[in-house]
């Protein structure tokens, strides 16, 4: 990628409309300037102007991250600039959600014309990508943290997926606690595909997760249990092994 192309990336309308974090922009532009100066090319005033502008900006508590889809559209998300904020880690996108979104885009048949339920939706990357590119008939986002749900709803609207603007897919957001969800609620949702990303991270919630998955599998739609796909980052092998062990007991 050339310096000019990188500069065009910095000044792209998407970045101007939904700017990344101040820290990211400073690091990106600083590295770009170092690379340009090392090439002994003519100075680009636009680079220094862009860096000078971002150096005068204070970092806020929120920023945007944008992800380009194969269809040419972009998913833009409002996220926290801190890994932990408002008592949760759910206000940022985690690596497993990225992998699940990429896998979904390569396996659209798993979602096309299906009712999809996502456990622990977070800020919404995977679900919004699926709704934009995989053509489900309906998609149900669920989470338990009120701040996460508020940010999730904002991101759904930001990407034009509220039902008024996107009649092709019926989107809903539900506040559900894993330990409290009932089989009746799950049957009413009628999911034929269930997904989750980065939900296997805390040994204290493994039991609740396994129980809700067992309820999901008992709530068959059209006589068949739903397909379930879980994407995990293995930070602690003991936690992941505990999850697999408890799954095997059901």
Q: What is the mean pLDDT of residues 189-201?
A: 95
Q: What is the pTM of this model?
A: 0.90
Task: Give percent of the chain above pLDDT 90.
Answer: 66
d(CA 154, CA 74): 16
CA 62 – CA 50 distance, rounded (Å): 20
Domains (range + CATH), the chain? 1-60 (no CATH), 81-248 (3.40.50.150)
Which two tokens mark 206?
């493994």
pLDDT tens figures, 100-147: 999 999 999 999 999 999 999 999 999 999 999 999 999 999 999 999
Percent of the chain with pLDDT over 70: 94
pLDDT grade for 3, boundaries at 50, 70 and 90: low
Beta bridge partners of 193: 116, 227
Q: What is the CA radius of gyration of the chain?
A: 21
Taking the CB of residue 149, how many other CB atoms lie within 10 A of it?
19
Q: For residue range 146-170, what is the model confidence (pLDDT) as tens digits? A: 999 999 999 999 999 976 666 679 9
């Amino acid at each position: 990628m050339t310096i000019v192309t990188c500069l065009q990336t910095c000044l792209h309308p998407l970045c101007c409309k939904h700017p990344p974090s101040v820290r990211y922009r400073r690091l990106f532009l600083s590295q770009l300037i170092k690379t340009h100066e090392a090439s002994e090319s003519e100075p680009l005033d636009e680079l220094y102007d862009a860096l000078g502008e971002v150096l005068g900006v204070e970092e806020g508590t929120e920023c945007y991250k944008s992800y380009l889809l194969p269809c040419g559209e972009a998913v833009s998300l409002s996220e926290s600039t801190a890994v932990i904020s408002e008592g949760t880690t759910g206000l940022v996108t985690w690596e497993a959600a990225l992998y699940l979104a990429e896998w979904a885009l390569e396996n659209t048949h798993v979602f096309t014309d299906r009712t999809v339920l996502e456990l622990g939706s977070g800020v919404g990357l995977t679900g919004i990508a699926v709704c934009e590119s995989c053509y489900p008939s309906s998609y149900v986002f669920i989470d338990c943290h009120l701040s996460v749900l508020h940010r999730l709803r904002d991101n759904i609207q930001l990407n034009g997926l509220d039902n008024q603007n996107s009649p092709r897919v019926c989107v809903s957001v539900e506040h559900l606690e894993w330990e409290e969800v009932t089989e009746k609620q799950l049957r009413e949702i009628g999911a034929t595909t269930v997904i989750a990303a980065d939900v296997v991270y805390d040994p204290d919630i493994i039991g609740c997760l396994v129980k809700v998955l067992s309820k999901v599998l008992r709530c068959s739609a059209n006589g068949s249990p739903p397909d379930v796909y879980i994407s995990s980052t293995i930070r602690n092998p003991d936690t992941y092994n505990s999850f697999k062990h408890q799954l095997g007991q059901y």
